[in-house]
């Protein structure tokens, strides 16, 4: 196979070999490379990471791969939006190469390796999606090992994921610089997400309250309210504005995601939430 240069204005590599060939050619010219891993359905949040990548490296590779192994059987893998042509159009003039492998290329017959981390993967998302982070860690390690970029860029939107990948890169001595980009939000503060496309107009309106409640809960704790009291109040409000189920609303150590034993922050803290509205599960976070 060779690079697909005809489907879109941006070339697409569909196999590891094609990706490696393109990257090797850049390396020969002495160019630096950034990788931005995504699952596609690109929005301004993704594009902000691509812009950040552009300021850090000479060439930018965006991977688009809806990774089956990070979805549990009851989750939205088959419904997840797949919009490759629109994604390619959005990346025009921003990225230099799309890496869009298929599942058989990423996980050929006999594939048997899983990277699993303890500690930071266990609470929050890990408690509600027990197989999620092993899927994420394994696919991110593969994407980095395939592209061998100088720098890999992820969003703070998935804060726990950011901490998990940072841990993995450090623990496995993966020779890549690791960088997080800030959360891009809609006008009402809703964190941009490919999953926002699932929301009905009514759900979308309620979803805009999540970041407001998150901020106000964080402010209460910053002003001295005990964590359990503030999060209990915030939890009630999330359900009152129209969310159907709250998975968690927690204030945790920003790096380890451990709980604070004294019911008040002792060092950098982050508030994190996951809640379902209709069939859509939304997550968000911010500093305290």
Residues that bind ligand AMP (CB under 6 A): 38-39, 45-46, 48-49, 154-155, 157-158, 181, 183-184, 191-194
Q: Rg (Cα) of the chain, in Å, rounded?
A: 19
Tell me whether residue 43 is one of the annotated catalytic residues: no
Q: Is the CB of 17 or the CB of 145 nearer to ligand AMP?
A: 145
Minimum distance between the CB of residue 155 and ligand AMP, rounded to whole angstroms? Answer: 2
Q: Under a CB-based contact definition with an 8 Å cutoff, are residues 67 and 141 in contact?
A: no
Minimum distance between the CB of residue 40 and ligand AMP, rounded to whole angstroms? Answer: 6
Minimum distance between the CB of residue 184 and ligand AMP, rounded to whole angstroms? Answer: 4
Q: Is the CB of 141 or the CB of 225 nearer to ligand AMP?
A: 141
Distances from the Cα of 261 to the Cαs of 88, 253, 267, in angstroms? 47, 11, 12
Q: Under a CB-based contact definition with an 8 Å cutoff, are residues 31 and 58 in contact?
A: yes
DSSP annotation of 285 reads E
Choose among 101, 113, 103: nearest CA to 77: 103
Q: Is the CB of 203 or the CB of 220 nearer to ligand AMP?
A: 203
Beta carbons within 8 Å of 192's beta carbon, 6+ residues apart:
43, 44, 45, 157, 183, 184, 185, 186
Minimum distance between the CB of residue 92 and ligand AMP, rounded to whole angstroms? Answer: 18
Task: Indicate the SS3 state at residue 198.
Answer: helix
What are 187's two structure tokens?
A: 């006008």
Q: Is the CB of 48 or the CB of 121 nearer to ligand AMP?
A: 48
Q: Is the CB of 27 or the CB of 56 nearer to ligand AMP?
A: 56
Other CB atoms within 10 A of residue 44 CB: 12
Q: Which is catalytic among the residues 33, 38, 46, 257?
A: 46
Q: Under a CB-based contact definition with an 8 Å cutoff, are residues 94 and 51 in contact?
A: yes
- The whole-angstrom separation of Cα 191 and Cα 194 is 10
Minimum distance between the CB of residue 46 and ligand AMP, rounded to whole angstroms? Answer: 5
- The whole-angstrom separation of Cα 136 and Cα 130 is 12
Residue numbers annotated as active site? 46
């Amino acid at each position: 196979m060779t690079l697909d240069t005809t489907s879109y204005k941006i070339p697409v590599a569909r196999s590891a070999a094609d990706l490696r060939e393109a990257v090797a050619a850049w390396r020969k010219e002495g160019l630096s490379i950034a990788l931005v891993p995504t699952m596609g359905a690109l929005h301004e949040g993704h594009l902000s990471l691509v812009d950040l990548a552009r300021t850090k490296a000479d060439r930018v590779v965006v991977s688009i791969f809806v990774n089956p192994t990070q979805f549990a059987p009851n989750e939205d893998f088959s419904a997840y939006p797949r919009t490759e042509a629109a994604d390619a159009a959005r990346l025009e003039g921003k990225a230099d190469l799309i890496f869009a492998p298929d599942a058989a290329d990423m996980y050929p017959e006999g594939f048997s390796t899983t990277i699993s981390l303890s500690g930071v993967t266990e609470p929050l998302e890990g408690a509600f999606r027990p197989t999620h982070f092993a899927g994420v860690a394994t696919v991110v390690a593969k994407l980095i090992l395939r592209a061998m970029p100088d720098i890999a860029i992820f969003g703070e939107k998935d804060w726990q994921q950011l901490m998990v990948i940072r841990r993995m890169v450090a623990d496995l001595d993966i020779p890549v610089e690791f960088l997080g980009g800030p959360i891009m939000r809609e006008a009402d503060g809703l964190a941009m997400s490919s999953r926002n496309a699932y929301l009905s107009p009514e759900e979308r309106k309620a979803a805009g309250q999540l970041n407001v409640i998150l901020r106000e809960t964080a402010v209460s704790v910053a002003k001295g309210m005990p964590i359990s009291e503030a999060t209990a109040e915030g939890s009630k409000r999330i359900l009152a504005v129209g969310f159907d189920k709250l998975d968690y609303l927690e204030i945790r150590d920003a790096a380890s995601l451990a709980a604070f034993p004294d019911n008040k922050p002792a060092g950098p803290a982050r508030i994190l939430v996951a809640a379902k509205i209709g069939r859509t599960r939304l997550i968000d976070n911010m500093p305290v």
